[in-house]
Amino acid sequence: MWNPSKLNLNKKIPAFAGMTIMNIKNYINGQFENPINNEWLDNYCPANGEVYGILPNSSKDDVENAYIAAQSAFPIWSQTTIEERSRILIKISELIEANLQRFAEAESKDNGKPIGLAKSVDIPRAASNFRFFGNAITQFASESHESIGQQAINYTLRQPIGVVGCISPWNLPLYLFTWKIAPAIAAGNCVVAKPSEVTPMTAYLLGEICTEAGLPKGVLNIVHGLGTTTGQAIVEHPDIKAISFTGGTATGAHIAKVAAPMFKKLSLELGGKNPNIIFADCDYQDMLKTTVRSSFSNQGQICLCGSRIFVEATIYKRFKKDFVQKVKQLKVGHPSEESTDIGALVSKSHLEKVLQYINIAKQENGTVLCGDNKVTLKDYENGYYLEPTVIEVITDDCRINQEEVFGPVVTIMPFNYDDEVLQMANKVKYGLSATIWTNDLKRTMRMSNQIQAGIIWVNTWMLRDLRTPFGGVKASGVGREGGFEALRFFTEAKNVCVKY
């Protein structure tokens, strides 16, 4: 876990005079606010290991204020026409696009992700979230059922829930934050949202954009802080009636326990240990190129990355040689350089955790084929850089193959039979996504039906269509987001039966 040092800013922010320290604030009722208790956290830049900002460690009182603002905004926002809500969401989308460079730089600085990735994927997708749900809400129809023979008609209203909580992780900061907020407000709810304390920057910038887009005050409230203080206060709040959470499995289990006695609606998008299954009959070059991407994109810190690569034995040797050669060519570099393939890991403690897993793999007879070295960049010696690492394992039940590492580390191992690989693919506690490479239709259908995961890609990876359901099974989560699934989550269905 990331362990920030607390700064006591009773001495006030000018103590930083001379340094360009970014002072992130809460966004409550359309205003930027200091935390009531004046408690602050350090915000580190992973590229150089330095503190470049401070953010509130908000208390229960800040969450209460955010709740009151949201609750006050709800009667009007929930009655605002769908056309007006849609117009504002689309305006937010346009403003994010207009500020692409600023958002991408902030995301890259905060998270360590290559600027090219932030510019081409993360920020455009955050903008798409608002555009998509701004449009989707106009198509979100209620159902009605004529009860023939009983002289009755049933119709089902989809009513907003009220005040909802959205809590997101650090790996795709703005993208996942907005993935929750956009459908929540589109459906007429008001929101108390908390981004990860490790990457608060773009959520902070979003507040400005929302004001500029004309989002009424109180509809979106952003409180910053640690999970155990601010996050916990959101989950514990008796009148925040639904929680949409993305993050680790252990945190998700904890949230479920806290929320259950209050009967909160929960959507939990949790960890993964996704198989990437490669059959000899696939389009080899396409598979090879995509597998490098699916293994190491965003330093392997995407819940959908394929971290367990199973390769049919007849092409195993060839794949091993070609894959390792390609991985060695990836450029580990400063996130702000366009030519960087692998940026910095998100935090020092996360880098240490990933290195620890590589050691565990070695102790369990894994063979490191490449990587396993910290990288020291000139002038950025304290940045959190690690070479992309490929480990050959001899059994699938070792810890590196069972536990989520969430870094630039993948395992490879051969298999001989479809049933064998199917069994290995399913023999983990997680079930988020899986990738299959084959041109055999029967095999495609059989594997896709039997792999335990919420998302299956065949001959591709991370091809996303926002209309599709997104989420996992087993320890990867409960519920689905995306498309109308998200709008269903953020509304209550109420059936009305009228006898005529």
Supply angle C-alpha 72, 77, 78, rounded to 5. 105
Number of Cβ atoms within 10 Å of the Cβ of 284: 15
236-255: contacts with ligand NAD (CB under 6 A): 246-248, 251, 254-255
Judged by CB under 6 A, does residue 134 bind ligand NAD?
A: no
Amino acid identity of 105?
Answer: E
Q: How far is the CB of 285 from ligand NAD (least distance, A)?
A: 29
Ranges within 421-460 binding ligand NAD (CB under 6 A): 432
Count of CB atoms situated within 10 Å of the CB of 56:
26
112 near ligand NAD (CB under 6 A): no
One of 117, 187, 303, 361 touching ligand NAD (CB under 6 A): 303
Contact at 8 Å (CB) between 41 and 57?
yes
Question: Under the criterion CB under 6 A, does residue 231 sit at the interface with ligand NAD?
Answer: yes
Among 35, 116, 188, 227, binds ligand NAD (CB under 6 A): 227
Q: Choose which of 269, 312, 372, 418 interacts with ligand NAD (CB under 6 A).
A: 269
Active site residue 303: yes
Which 8-state DSSP code applies to residue 491?
E
35 binds ligand NAD (CB under 6 A): no
Catalytic residue among 45, 166, 303, 398: 303
Q: How far apart are CA 231 and CA 226, in angstroms?
A: 7
- 48 scored as a contact of ligand NAD (CB under 6 A): no
Cα distances (Å, whole numbers) of residue 25 to 30, 36, 225, 379, 496: 12, 11, 10, 30, 44
| List 44, 67, 406, 437, residue binding ligand NAD (CB under 6 A) | 406
What are the structure tokens assigned to 331, written together? Answer: 């450029």
Query: Does the annotation mark 269 as catalytic?
Result: yes
Q: Is 181 in the site for ligand NAD (CB under 6 A)?
A: no
Q: What is the rounded CA–CA span in Å between residue 287 and residue 278?
A: 8
Q: Based on CB atoms, which residue is closest to ligand NAD, 46 or 477?
A: 477
Cβ neighbours for 402, distance < 8 A, ≥ 6 positions apart: 273, 396, 428, 429
Give residues with Cβ within 8 angstroms of 240, minimum separation 6: 67, 163, 164, 165, 192, 234, 264
Q: Is 108 in the site for ligand NAD (CB under 6 A)?
A: no
Q: Contact with ligand NAD (CB under 6 A): which of 4, 112, 272, 300?
A: 272
In angstroms, what is the minimal distance from the CB of 1 to ligand NAD? 7
Q: Which residues are catalytic?
A: 269, 303
Enumerate binding residues for ligand NAD (CB under 6 A): 167-171, 176, 194, 196-197, 226-228, 231-232, 235, 246-248, 251, 254-255, 269-272, 303, 404, 406, 432, 472, 476-477
